[in-house]
Structure 1
Amino acid sequence: MEQSLRVFITVAKTRHFSRAAEELHMTQPAVSQQIRSLENRYHTRLLERNNKSVQLTPAGEILLREGLEILNQYARMERLIQDLTHSASGPLSIGASYTFGEYVLPRILSSFCTRYEQIDPKVTIHNTKRIGEGVVRREMDIGIVEGELSHPQLEMKPVADDELVLVVPSNHPLAEQKEVKASELRGERWILREPGSGTREAADRLFRGAELTPDTILEFGSTQVIKESVETGLGIAVLSSWSIRKELLLGTLCSLRVQDVPMRRHFYTLTRATSFRTKAMDLFLAFLRQELRRRTLPSC
């Protein structure tokens, strides 16, 4: 069953029998036999075939979604059993939202991999919502996000503080101030992350708390692009202090606080609430907390 699922998922992803056979190092007739075996098992067609490619039937869509989760469970089961008799080793799938994944995680992972050479981390960076979904579906062992999520299958724990600040170019009229009133921001063009990200959620809270309605909002899916856009004078932004350390040192950006509107949040770890944890997961979570205690928020 496991082998048939792997074959089916490869065909479903490549949309082609010959490409799947090549990727799996199998003959095309052997691939076709595995698919027929599954279709006979479930008494329904899983794929619609034509000369150029294959398409999933509704039953095939279900098998692809659920089959991916089953294979992830197989992999976790094997790692848990190996943990009983071996030292921590093998793959560790980490999902991180953009701010943490791009500006905090790399240094921590570098130290972790030096200490635990037998553990092989794989990192996926996406917005908070997508990371939560990945942990629920067992595509990721651990998630680290900056936005709160509520899901019965997720265990969420704070691991570090994060302060968000107003970011302006160094030649902006407000750049010399450490703190501004919300009324001084009226008429500004805002450059923000997309809905679903933790940073966008913080910006929306700022607008509600300051009773501020932006005239113009530009949405970008990358913190780096937002920083570069602010540097050119395109607009102002709300970003994590962790993400602008280099620009503050270079003097290309300035950070300000908004009077009477605190913007602090937590970074959280996500794990499945009902799953056993591998040794690699426990080691990484302990190491992460230790390293974050040693690191302080950058000075604004």
Structure 2
Amino acid sequence: MNLMKLRIVELLEQHKKITAVADALGLKQPTVTFHMKSLEQDLGVKLFETRTGKIYLTEAGRALYHYSIKINSLAHEAQRVVKEFDQLGRGTLKIGASYVPGTYILPRIISSFTKLHPRINLTVVVKPAPVIKDLLLNHEIDLGILSCEPFQFPPLFAETFCEDEMVLIFSPQHRLASIPQLNPEQLLNIPFILHSPESSTRQMTMKWEQSNRIELNGQLELDSLEAIKQVVMLGEGISFISRLAVNKEVERGELECRQIPHNQYKRYVYYTYNLDRSPSTLMDSFVNHLQKSIPV
């Protein structure tokens, strides 16, 4: 079994066509077909099946696909790490961030880091925290910056960067604005703007509802922090959100915020990486830069 065959498995799952795989790899179609048959002979099991003119992975093929992704990513990482020894000051760094740090923390840090290392190639992917964890486990990114509750998720190593306080937000004209300290029952029957189901904020909101034995009036669901803020500013809706995301609006008087009543859940921003992945010199440099940028 070689890397080319595993790459074919990965691409077939994506494209379902031998022609597309051949084009992506710069090979001829008969060569791709040869590698497919050779792989099935090597493993002694059927990996591919044709249906309606497309190639699909069998159950055994999908099991192999899971490992193909990891092996191909590790091979790419190995090439990158070795090349860095011959490219002083160069390199590629892939960072995954959840929405709060990706929007309100990382831009300033990345800007100052790239000024120190102008020849590097830096990529940032912004996704929900659970997705970033999966990308780290599959060796698809080097470093994750997550806003979430404390977690243990071997083989991921996590270090706290700063606290990410969650607050309740509403319009300055909202009737809650006249109440300095709220209780959970006062939030009943008020239109509540929900975050997307996969977000850590949505998960925390559900836990808060359960612990306080109430059900919020979730009329609207949005997957954009900026959209949530705009809807709250313009209407009667309320929402839970990171204080980091609303500091400017609160200072300008565009939003009001309060502590979430009876909230026992803490959230933090972590930087995390896979202990099974060899850290590059560039990643170590970025982590050191990150540590120097921790808010006081």
TM over 0.5: yes
Q: What TM-score bracket applies, with the shorter chain setting the length?
A: 0.7 to 0.9
Runs of 5+ unmatched residues, structure 2: none
Identify the residue that residue 41 of structure 2 maps to in structure 1.
40
SS at structure 1 position matched to 2:294: helix
Identify the residue that residue 134 of structure 1 maps to in structure 2.
135
SS at structure 2 position matched to 1:89: coil
Identify the residue that residue 152 of structure 2 maps to in structure 1.
150
Q: 1:223 aligns with which of 222, 225, 231?
A: 225
> Structure 2 length normalisation: TM-score?
0.88
State the alpha-carbon separation in 2 of the partners of residues 15 and 258 from structure 1. Answer: 49
Cα distance, 1:66 vs structure 2: 0.5
Cα-to-partner distance string for 1:10-37 (whole Å, 9 max, x where unaligned): 2221111112222222222222222222
Cα-to-partner distance string for 1:39-85 (whole Å, 9 max, x where unaligned): 22212222212453211111211121110100111122223333445
Tell whether 2:252 aligns with 1:241. Answer: no
Query: How many residues matched?
Result: 293
In structure 2, the CA distance between the partners of 1:12 and 1:265, relative to structure 1 (3 Å rule), is closer
SS at structure 2 position matched to 1:146: strand
Identify the residue that residue 6 of structure 2 maps to in structure 1.
5
Identify the residue that residue 99 of structure 2 maps to in structure 1.
98
Identify the residue that residue 62 of structure 1 maps to in structure 2.
63
Cα distance, 1:104 vs structure 2: 1.9
Check whether the contact 1:188–1:214 (CA below 8 A) recurs between aligned residues.
no
SS at structure 2 position matched to 1:292: coil
What amino acid does structure 1 have at the position aligned with 2:233?
A: E
State the alpha-carbon separation in 2 of the partners of residues 159 and 27 from structure 1. Answer: 49
State the alpha-carbon separation in 1 of the partners of residues 164 and 81 from structure 2. Answer: 33
Check whether the contact 1:166–1:257 (CA below 8 A) recurs between aligned residues.
yes
SS at structure 2 position matched to 1:92: strand
Percent identity over paired residues: 27
State the alpha-carbon separation in 2 of the partners of residues 206 and 44 from structure 1. Answer: 49
What amino acid does structure 1 have at the position aligned with 2:199?
A: S
State the alpha-carbon separation in 2 of the partners of residues 249 and 23 from structure 1. Answer: 51
Cα-to-partner distance string for 1:142-190 (whole Å, 9 max, x where unaligned): 1111113322211111011222111102321123555433343232222
SS at structure 1 position matched to 2:240: strand
State the alpha-carbon separation in 2 of the partners of residues 222 and 64 from structure 1. Answer: 32
What amino acid does structure 1 have at the position aligned with 2:202?
A: R
State the alpha-carbon separation in 2 of the partners of residues 274 and 11 from structure 1. Answer: 27
Cα distance, 1:212 vs structure 2: 5.3
State the alpha-carbon separation in 2 of the partners of residues 154 and 188 from structure 1. Answer: 39
